[in-house]
Every structure is written in C-alpha cells, then in structure tokens.
Amino acid sequence: MRHTTINDLAKLLKLSPSTVSRALRDHPDISKKTKEKVLEMAAHTNYQPNIIAQSLQNRRSNTIGVIIPEIRNTFFSTVISGIEEVAYQAGYIIMVCQSGDTYAREVLNTKALAANRVAGMLVSTSQETTDYSHLKTAIAQGIHIVFFDRIPEEIEASKVIVDDFEGAYGAVNHLIERGYQRIAHLAGNPTLYVSRKRSDGYEAALRDHYREIRSEYIITGGYHEEDGRAGVERLLCLTDPPDAIFTINDPVAIGAFRQLQDRGMAIPGKMALVGFSNNPNTALVRPRITTVNQPAFEIGQTTARLLLKNFYLSPEKQKVETIVLKTELIVRESS
C-alpha cells in the first residue's frame, strides 16, 4: 500500500481532484454533503496530504532549519527544545544540522537547508566562521534567518542574544567583591562575538576596580571540557598563578573544575571558579559552581517566534530586530 492521493480520492468518489482538494481545505464553495463524503473517505483510506507537493505548489515549506555547533552541548539541546516547542505549535517541523563547530560543515548545512527550501533558518555559527557569504547568499535567496547566541555582527538580520558583557562583568565584579586578587579568564575564540563581549566584560570589571589586566591571565581556547583542563594547566604553570578563574562557558568551567580537582586544589580555597551558561552540571558537582544563567529554553522560543513573526509580515513590514535577554549571576560555593 502506498500513500493515498487526492486523485485516488477523486476517483473513488467520482469527483474532480479540484473539488476534493477544496473539500479537504474546507473551502466555503463546497457543499456540506460533499465535504462530509470527502472527509469520510479521506479518513477511511488514511489519506494524508503530501506536504512535499503542497510546499512546491505554495512555494512555502513547513520546515525550519536549525544549525548549531553541537547538539550534545546542553545549552544547544535546550535551545532546540525551545525552538521545537514554538515551531510545533505553529505547525512547523524542524530540521537540525550540526556544524561540529567547523566552517566547512556549516557551509554544507546552509546549502542543504537552502536546497530543501526551508521556510527559514535559525543559526548559531561555528567558532571557525569568519566568512559569512554562505549565510548572506541564503538571505539573498529570500530565506529568513534569525541568529542566536553566536551571531555574525556584519549581517543585518534578526538576532537573539543575552547581555554577555553585563553577565561577564557581573561575574568578575562578584569575584572582586569576594576579595579575589588575581582573576584569570579562560576566554573563547575572539572571532565569536559572544566571546569578545564576555572578555570585554571581564576586562571592564577589572578596569573599573583599578585592577591590572595581565595578559598571561587571559588564555584563549575552545569551548569544551578539554579546553578548561588545558587552560588550568597553563595557569598553574605561571610563577604567580591566579586565585580565581572566570570561564567563557560551563563546559570549560567543568573541565577546569575537574582538572583542579584532579590536582587536589581546593575550590574555592586555592582557586575560585565562575562559569557561564548555568548548565545543570554546575549544580551537580561539589562545591557547586557559580555561574551566569543564560535562559536557553527561552532563547530558543524567542528565536523561533522572531522567525515566525516575519513569515506573516509583508516584506516591507518585516523588520530586523535584536532581542537581548537578561542573564543572572547564580552564586554558589565555588566562589
């Protein structure tokens, strides 16, 4: 048994495909009686509209493409949940692609989604991406894109971010107030806007308290646990090691935590630690890790809503907007 089509229904009912189509879509022209007959037969034969054909005809698809670095990162999987919830309620389905944090895969993902004629894309760029022409091309082709978290500055499009600068500033400010003297920063790749903003917040907080910014305390690396471990190793090799660390995100904080733990360093006694994101993990370890909450689920919802909103607006009414969500410092025992 194959899928039932409108033509099948038309033949069975001795009606034209047009009438069946209209009956199915509850067109006012069609009589109650016909509608009932059609609906009954549709249910009976398990008819399901071919959305592929509808999309082709209507030149609008019901799928939203999502490109993220890595689904296994709790932050991103939570964002996806938020996206999916909103998309689902609006009758959209999501296609998820991982760039694996590489530029090459991100380009391929973008093309694949464009070729699939998604109604729109929600993207968080890879840490390698500095050339945004693949995304610009997609936009030029008429595909709506909303960026979140890892956004390209140079593209004029809607974006959803958090107040990274404020979040980082608050975290470092908190460390200073707690009396830590030598505060290091495990920073992210400066190609990413978020990373730069968090680093800026770190530096601004130090500066506002007349603290020296020591370049040996700023270690640039990636976004994973191993980067946290490596960063801690490098900091501990310094002749004057720091007494506190602020990390670019929580995976890095967890890596730092484990490395410090493996080295037998007391947290926060020997080294204080503050992360960023509020991954559930940070509340699981002992001491629990102080972190900056990023409302991941809400970021997902907001991003999806921003996209959907544009779908229903005429091109001239569509406007580009950047929504900045609030972060919140969650003070726990690691600082």
Partner DNA sequence: CTGAAAGCGCTTACAG
Rg (CA), the chain: 25
From candidates 11, 36, 40, 54, binder to DNA by CB under 7 A = 54
Residue 19 sits in the site that holds DNA (CB under 7 A): yes
Nearer to a second copy, 173 or 259 (CB): 259
Answer with the entry of DNA, a second copy, none that 238 interacts with (C-beta below 5 to 8 A by kind). none
Residue 97 sits in the site that holds a second copy (CB under 8 A): yes
Nearer to DNA, 4 or 110 (CB): 4
Residue with tokens 């200073």: 176
The vertex-316 CA angle with 87 and 94, nearest 5°, equals 15
- Kindly identify the residues of this chain, within the stretch 125-154, that bind a second copy according to CB under 8 A: 137, 140-142
Residue ranges with strand state E in the chain = 63-68, 93-98, 120-123, 144-148, 158-162, 183-187, 218-220, 244-247, 272-274, 291-293, 322-325, 328-330
Dig out the tokens for 243 from the structure. 């007494």
| Segment interacting with a second copy, rule: CB under 8 A, options 26-34, 111-119, 190-198, 321-329 | 111-119
**Is 207 in contact with 136 (CB distance < 8 Å)?**
no
Give the x/- contact pattern for DNA in 312-331, rule: CB under 7 A.
--------------------
Which DSSP string corresponds to 93-135?
EEEEEE-TT-HHHHHHHHHHHHHTT-SEEEE---TT----HHH
Cα distances from 182 to residues 206, 244, 256, 270, 294, in angstroms, run: 10, 6, 16, 12, 26
**Is 278 in contact with 292 (CB distance < 8 Å)?**
yes
Answer with the entry of DNA, a second copy, none that 34 interacts with (C-beta below 5 to 8 A by kind). DNA
Residue 6 sits in the site that holds DNA (CB under 7 A): yes
Closest approach of a second copy to the CB of residue 172, in Å: 25
Distance, CA of 333 to CA of 294 (rounded, Å)? 19
Residue with tokens 């990023």: 294
From candidates 18, 51, 104, 331, binder to a second copy by CB under 8 A = 51
From candidates 3, 111, 286, 326, binder to DNA by CB under 7 A = 3
Nearer to DNA, 141 or 239 (CB): 141
**Is 62 in contact with 51 (CB distance < 8 Å)?**
yes
From candidates 11, 36, 58, 326, binder to DNA by CB under 7 A = 58
Dig out the tokens for 214 from the structure. 């020591």
Residue 7 sits in the site that holds DNA (CB under 7 A): yes
**Is 176 in contact with 202 (CB distance < 8 Å)?**
no
**Is 174 in contact with 329 (CB distance < 8 Å)?**
yes
Sign, Cα dihedral of 154, 156, 160, 163: positive
From candidates 23, 194, 219, 254, binder to a second copy by CB under 8 A = 254
From candidates 213, 266, 284, 313, binder to a second copy by CB under 8 A = 284
Answer with the entry of DNA, a second copy, none that 322 interacts with (C-beta below 5 to 8 A by kind). none
Distance, CA of 168 to CA of 165 (rounded, Å)? 5
Nearer to a second copy, 145 or 187 (CB): 145
Answer with the entry of a second copy, DNA, none that 58 interacts with (C-beta below 5 to 8 A by kind). DNA
* Site residue total, a second copy (CB under 8 A): 48
| Segment interacting with a second copy, rule: CB under 8 A, options 72-80, 120-128, 163-171, 237-245 | 72-80
Please report, as ranges, the residues that interact with a second copy according to CB under 8 A: 1-3, 46, 48-53, 55-56, 61-63, 70-72, 74, 77-78, 80-81, 84, 88, 93-98, 111-117, 137, 140-142, 254, 258, 281, 284-286
Catalog residues that contact DNA under the rule CB under 7 A: 2-3, 5-7, 14-19, 21-22, 24-25, 28-34, 49-50, 53-54, 56-59
